[in-house]
Amino acid sequence: MEGISLEELQLAARNHGMPLEALRYPVTPIGLHYLLTHYDVPDVAPDGWRLAIGGLELSLDDLRARSVAEHTVTMECAGNGRARLEPRPVSQPWLLEAVGTARWRGTPLAPLLAEAGIPDGTVEVLFTGLDRGIEGGDEQAFQRALPLDEATRDEVLLAYEMNGAPLPPQHGFPLRLVVPGWYGMTNVKWLSRIEFLAEPFSGYQQSWSYRVRQSEDEVGEPLQRMQPRSLLVPPGIPEFMTRDRTVAAGEVLLEGRAWSGLAPVASVEVSDDGASTWSAATLEPAGEPWAWRGFSYRWEAKPGEHVLCSRARDEAGNEQPVEPPWNLGGYANNAVQAVRVTVTP
């Protein structure tokens, strides 16, 4: 790997992944959930804050007085895996760990849109956050749009609680969008404004970033739903610097979690020889539809060096590749994880 630059390191020091041992928790504790902040975490005083939506202006109390829904949702950054690509696209250098699962509680979006009045000819709904910065040379607030038919799905929430507590500042206090199944950038934090658009949104985060393409000349395809991925809890104990693992020979229960935003997880396989041969893992019973699904595999660990991998397939037939799929922005690299393990006699 070519060395990470100071600018990439600055991002890696601010943003953070989920340490993979935290895959043990079905709901990720606050502080272990991955976090990516494009600009700064804004300082929002809840008393003065209002959400503008069409002609409505709503306070946090107004939103809390509405119907309540809660979903357990696995959320992954679209850039997860970027730093595993060669050549490496330069941005936040995620390896594997930009994921987490939370219980998001709030009010469903669709009834609010209806109450605000969806104008005829609306094609997209635009969400604007309070976080401001400069990107591509232009000052901007973070903005993302959803097609109207996606914005009005039942499971789309305006969330004011995470894991049973008010949103922490870094996760969007006082209100964020949660779109189960979609990559993280969709879930606009520090929401201030929702607007109806008669034309597709062409802002920076929609038409330039978050598109799969091979060169800047291409328009590319927008990133939307999460590709299937599985991750193993690294077994045994780590070496501090290399993070390579050591376990004692014998039966080792390998555990992990798998998800896909495209369809339910259908199967997970495990390899102990670096993706040459595969064996079926046991899936835990399916839980909530937007949450990751646990799996396990009883591994007969024999002394020597091993590379553990896992591979998820979803019911739509999407499967994790062994080789990383390269693209210009370094998005959606769901290639299989490789965990180096030394088994001691």
- List interacting residues with a copy of itself (CB under 8 A): 1-17, 19, 21-22, 24-25, 29-33, 35, 37-41, 43, 83, 90-91, 93-95, 97, 132-135, 139, 168-171, 234, 237-243, 246
CB 182 → a copy of itself: shortest distance, Å?
21
CB 337 → a copy of itself: shortest distance, Å?
13
Closer CB to a copy of itself, 35 or 336, in the complex: 35
Distance from C-alpha of 50 to C-alpha of 125, rounded to nearest angstrom: 18
Side-chain half-sphere CA neighbours of 127 within 13 A? 26
CB 255 within 8 A of CB 281: no
CB 211 within 8 A of CB 330: no
Closer CB to a copy of itself, 58 or 77, in the complex: 77
Token pair for residue 50?
């209002």
Name every residue whose Cβ is closer than 8 Å to that of residue 194 and which is 6 or more positions away in sequence.
51, 52, 53, 54, 112, 113, 116, 125, 126, 127, 128
CB 151 → a copy of itself: shortest distance, Å?
26
Main-chain phi, psi angles of 279, to 5 degrees:
-130, 150
CB 318 within 8 A of CB 312: no
Q: Torsion angle of alpha carbons 13, 34, 310, 284, nearest 10°?
A: 160
Closer CB to a copy of itself, 13 or 121, in the complex: 13
295, 106, 119, 310: which is closest to 196 by C-alpha? Answer: 119
Distance from C-alpha of 230 to C-alpha of 196, rounded to nearest angstrom: 36
CB 235 → a copy of itself: shortest distance, Å?
10
CB 102 → a copy of itself: shortest distance, Å?
11
Closer CB to a copy of itself, 31 or 119, in the complex: 31
Q: What is the DSSP string of 122-164?
A: --EEEEEEEEEEEETTEEEEEEEEEEHHHHTSTT-EEEEEETT
CB 250 → a copy of itself: shortest distance, Å?
17
Token pair for residue 45?
């005083």
CB 4 → a copy of itself: shortest distance, Å?
4
Distance from C-alpha of 112 to C-alpha of 11, rounded to nearest angstrom: 36
Closer CB to a copy of itself, 43 or 149, in the complex: 43
CB 25 → a copy of itself: shortest distance, Å?
8
Indicate the SS3 state at residue 207: helix
Token pair for residue 22?
């935290």
Closer CB to a copy of itself, 40 or 154, in the complex: 40
